[in-house]
Amino acid sequence: MYVCGPTTYNYFHAGNARMFVVFDMIRRYFIYKGFNVRYVQNFTDIDDKIIQRGNVEGMDPLALGQKYIDEYFKDAKEINLLPATVHPKATEHIPEMIEIIQGLIDSGLGYEVEGDVYFAVDHFPDYGKLSGRTLEDMKAGARVEVDERKRHPMDFALWKKAKPGEPAWESPWGEGRPGWHIECTAMSLKYLGAGFDIHGGGADLSFPHHENEIAQTEGYLKGKTFARHWMHNAFLTINQEKMSKSLGNFFTIRELLVNSPGEVIRFYLLGTHYRSPLDFNDQNLIMAQKGLERLQTSVRLAQEALDREGLGRNDQGSLELSRASKEAREAFEKAMDDDFNSALAYAALFELAKTMNSFVQANPVSSKGLAEAQKTLVELGDVLGFDLLHPAKVDVENNEILNEVMEVVLQIRSKSRQKKDWEMADFIRDGLKEKGIVIEDTPQGARWQIKR
């Protein structure tokens, strides 16, 4: 799998994160199904936007690019992205790009004009086959800058002549830097070769980026298949408008992490099928948090039952839970096998959690079936990138003191309930809830936990 990575001139935003999370989920599911997955995700660390941002910040563009590569890994860890097998950087593959560009020139698909090199789109008969567009339609609706030096308005840059003060590398056409599209061609061919299985990215990359990748790569390979399958996730929107840095209507993941744990953001991003638009709002994020906590609570209550009682008989309950585990796995795999439908996969998890909760509430004795069900729920959650057994901890200063204080508070509340002073008991419960501490009354006594 090759998945287009970020252009490193800022923290990545929630729209970028949807793409990263979706393809991370797909990768995890292939691993779950027994595939050996080689996963390549690049960093575009030289680009017009990086140069412009470097000028604004008074920072060397290459140093700026490295800064945001480092920041990417911090945020990626928070939303539980597995590191790629290879994370190539564009600036480390300039020789490979020059070799491909020279090959395109030699075959008549590329041409040099005053130090710039362009790809001749009308020399590649299949141009437009990914997006379904024709050159005539593209020319009529072109939104590219007019450059009289181009042979066709849709011809795109393979190599850009150096401008004063910009990073540049030596090439047969003079000093300059690569165009955006050639970077992914060079890096994907180097680490995966021609005819690899899946090339992924956001819907906005389908044209022109991926269309241009196909043209230059298959032109260079003289007709060999570049990637066998192309997958694109739909946009993340705000008020039905695409989230993007250029429109200024975006939230970086770094900003969202201030109020929401990364696992909640991930849960939200996978709550809708990846090819369906997903509209961002705070209410949906709150609903995602509640949904994730339902699964985590189910796993926790099962673990408490298993720790408390050990494994008892309860053969009937054990059979029901074993059957529920099998049905949940089958429903989960059916959903994921149908174009990675994570929304339906969620439904399978919630159904199993509901069965587990009913068993725990009704049975004082645990069973092997409960252990099996819990294991199944945890395993399937992990396929989607959630650690249901070890939810993210909330950092609380003096945690030991907090535990002691809460023990006293629960004792006071228990005495109030014994005296049937329901007003005081509810006052304590509601007051703590406003502070983010939730009390659960169970047959084994009251429990408390921090809700983020």
pLDDT of residue 178: 98
pLDDT of residue 435: 78
Burial of 357 by CB count in 10 Å (0-12 exposed, 13-18 middle, 19+ buried)? middle
pLDDT of residue 327: 98
The average pLDDT across 165-172 equals: 96
Percent of the chain with pLDDT over 90: 73
User: pLDDT per residue over 127-148, tens digit each?
Assistant: 999 999 988 877 765 555 567 8
The average pLDDT across 8-24 equals: 96
pTM of the entire structure? 0.85
Instruction: Write down the CATH superfamily of domain 1-91+234-279.
Output: HUPs (3.40.50.620)
In CATH, the number for domain 281-383 is: 1.20.120.640
Provide the pairing of β-strand 2-3 with 40-41. parallel
pLDDT of residue 68: 97
User: Distance (Å, rounded) from C-alpha 40 to C-alpha 116?
Assistant: 29
| Across 109-123, 154-168, 420-434, least confident range | 420-434
User: Distance (Å, rounded) from C-alpha 214 to C-alpha 202?
Assistant: 16
User: Distance (Å, rounded) from C-alpha 26 to C-alpha 16?
Assistant: 16
- Please state at what angle helix 368-383 crosses helix 14-32, rounded to 10 degrees: 130
Give the pLDDT band (50/70/90) at residue 395.
Answer: very low
pLDDT of residue 384: 98
The segment(s) of the chain belonging to CATH 3.40.50.620 are 1-91+234-279
User: Distance (Å, rounded) from C-alpha 73 to C-alpha 66?
Assistant: 11
Provide the pairing of β-strand 227-233 with 196-202. parallel
Phi and psi dihedrals of 308, rounded to 5? -75, -45
Mean pLDDT of the residues in the chain? 91
Cα-only R_g, the chain: 27
pLDDT of residue 247: 66
Give yes or no for a contact between 237 and 356, defined as CB atoms under 8 angstroms apart: no
User: Distance (Å, rounded) from C-alpha 308 to C-alpha 317?
Assistant: 17
pLDDT of residue 393: 59
330 is in an annotated binding site: no
Give the angle subtended at the CA of 54 by the CAs of 49 and 60, to the nearest 5°. 125
Percent of the chain with pLDDT over 70: 91
pLDDT of residue 344: 98
Six-digit token string for 164: 């004063």
pLDDT of residue 75: 98
When mean pLDDT is compared over 75-89, 142-156, 428-442, the highest value belongs to: 75-89
123 is in an annotated binding site: no
184 is in an annotated binding site: yes
The average pLDDT across 407-423 equals: 90
4 is in an annotated binding site: yes
pLDDT of residue 258: 87
Burial of 8 by CB count in 10 Å (0-12 exposed, 13-18 middle, 19+ buried)? buried
- Residues in the chain, overall count: 452
Residue 413 belongs to what H/E stretch? helix 399-418
- Please state whether 82 falls in left (phi above 0), alpha (psi between -120 and 50) or beta: beta
The average pLDDT across 86-99 equals: 98
The average pLDDT across 246-274 equals: 89
Residue 304 belongs to what H/E stretch? helix 282-309
245 is in an annotated binding site: yes
Phi and psi dihedrals of 390, rounded to 5? -130, 70
pLDDT > 90? residue 331: yes
Give the angle subtended at the CA of 88 by the CAs of 13 and 251, to the nearest 5°. 5
DSSP readout, 70-108?
A: HHHHHHHHHTTPPPPSB--BGGG-HHHHHHHHHHHHHTT
Higher pLDDT, residue 240 or 257: 257
The segment(s) of the chain belonging to CATH 1.20.120.640 are 281-383
Higher pLDDT, residue 330 or 312: 330
**Long-range CB contacts (within 8 A, 24+) of 389-398:** 389/299, 389/303, 391/263, 391/296, 392/261, 392/262, 392/263, 392/452, 394/450, 394/452, 396/450
Give yes or no for a contact between 265 and 257, defined as CB atoms under 8 angstroms apart: yes
